[in-house]
Amino acid sequence: MEQLETEIVNFFKLSTGIRNIDLDTNIGSERYKIFDLDAENLMQTFFKKYNIDYSNFIVNKYFIYPEYSWRSLIFIRLFFDKVEYPLKPALTIKHLVAVAQRKEWFDPI
């Protein structure tokens, strides 16, 4: 891995506490539970740290904003083991490295 790749992988490891992150990790995946405000703060910190123009970035396109009504939370926790979230496009660390190199947000291909 080149230096910028290693630096960005380490940034996400330190910022999220998730140890098994590599270039193919989809940081927006529901398995990592980085939702709404946490996702916004994480990505804003990333963009500012690497001086990236993120004016075209739409956080809820890649990260989940769960339903937080008390009724849905209680009902789901009492009767179901797993919540089904909508499928979002992947936001890989590899793509974020390319964004950092370009210094401007662009959608993954």
What's the predicted TM-score (pTM) here? 0.84
Grouped pLDDT means (10 residues each) for the chain, 109 residues: 95 97 96 94 98 97 79 56 77 98 95
Q: Is residue 21 helix, strand or coil? A: coil
pLDDT of residue 69: 58
Q: Burial of 8 by CB count in 10 Å (0-12 exposed, 13-18 middle, 19+ buried)? A: buried
